[in-house]
Amino acid sequence: MSDDRFWGGTIRKLWPTEVEKFRDHLLRLDKSSRRMRFAHGVSDSFIGDYALRMNDMGGIVYGYIVDGEVRAAAELRKLGDAWGTQAEAAISVEPTFQNKGLGSELMGRVIRAARNRGVHQLVLSCLSENSKMQAIARHFEADLRFEYGEVIGEIIPEQPNYFSIWAEAMEDRVGYVLAVLDLQARTLAAA
Ligand SMILES: CC(C)(COP(=O)(O)OP(=O)(O)OC[C@H]1O[C@@H](n2cnc3c(N)ncnc32)[C@H](O)[C@@H]1OP(=O)(O)O)[C@@H](O)C(=O)NCCC(=O)NCCS
């Protein structure tokens, strides 16, 4: 749940005003992580444009936040104007925070968010050499389908239920309170 503090940070949905923090996180990905995340090498300006569309793409972005900075993110994107049966997911964890279980934790949030929106099929596009992402997908019993050198991981979330909807709503409320407390603490520390 987002009220848990993971490895010194908090996981919660990012607000529309946090688009620049999301961009800065993506910019901190090293060359190899950028390639794995976007399936090809991307420039800073590409990332800047991509991140600034965070609010336009009509999705959800979870962030892992430490001292006010986004250090990992999980995106759930609509494929079209409204939530349908298919959606796309992507995860990014900054190199110094990798291999601590964050990617798996974020994947669980994304699957639950998809499930709560009636998505039956989550498409995770990752390069065939991305063995870490495949290890995470396997945790969630993903079926991996190989297409032209890329791996498309399709995860079929279960139907939403009262608990999954309640858990997401509770997390959002707690995430809001934690964000306010965090901001207050950092403002006081800076004063
Ligand atoms: C892929 C990524 C999200 C994983 O995040 P993470 O926080 O490091 O992931 P976790 O710690 O939860 O799990 C990593 C898994 O990979 C395994 N792993 C680590 N190094 C590995 C390697 N070299 N080969 C195979 N598996 C490896 C770990 O053992 C773990 O599996 P386990 O839980 O079964 O032991 C992160 O590395 C990342 O952001 N990479 C760049 C962007 C990217 O590839 N995004 C995915 C495409 S959408």
Q: Whose CA is nearest to atom 27 of ligand 1?
A: 132
103 CA from centroid of ligand 1 (Å): 6
Helix (H) or strand (E) holding 61: strand 60-66
Q: Poorest-confidence range of 2-6, 59-63, 120-124, 151-155?
A: 2-6
29, 123, 132: which to mutate for ligand 1, most atoms within 8 A of CB? 132
Q: Whose CA is nearest to atom 17 of ligand 1?
A: 132
pLDDT at position 106 over 90 = yes
The predicted structure's pLDDT at residue 164: 80
**CB-CB neighbours of 3 under 10 Å:** 14
Provide mean pLDDT across the span 72-95: 92
Q: Whose CA is nearest to atom 21 of ligand 1?
A: 132
Superfamily of domain 5-190: Gcn5-related N-acetyltransferase (GNAT) (3.40.630.30)
CB 62 within 8 A of CB 106: yes
Average pLDDT, the chain: 85
b (16+ CB within 10 A) / e for 112-150: bbbbbbebbebbbbbbeebebbbebbeebebeeeeeeee
Residues 11-57: pLDDT tens digits? Answer: 999 988 899 999 999 999 999 999 999 988 899 999 999 998 887 77
187 CA from centroid of ligand 1 (Å): 34
126 lines ligand 1 (CB under 6 A): yes
| CA atoms 75, 78, 83, 85: torsion sign | negative
Q: Whose CA is nearest to atom 34 of ligand 1?
A: 135
2 lines ligand 1 (CB under 6 A): no
pLDDT at position 2 over 60 = no
Please, what is the end-to-end C-alpha distance for the chain in angstroms?
A: 31
Provide mean pLDDT across the span 96-114: 93
Residues 6 or more apart from 50 whose CB is under 8 A from it?
26, 38, 42
pLDDT at position 1 over 50 = no
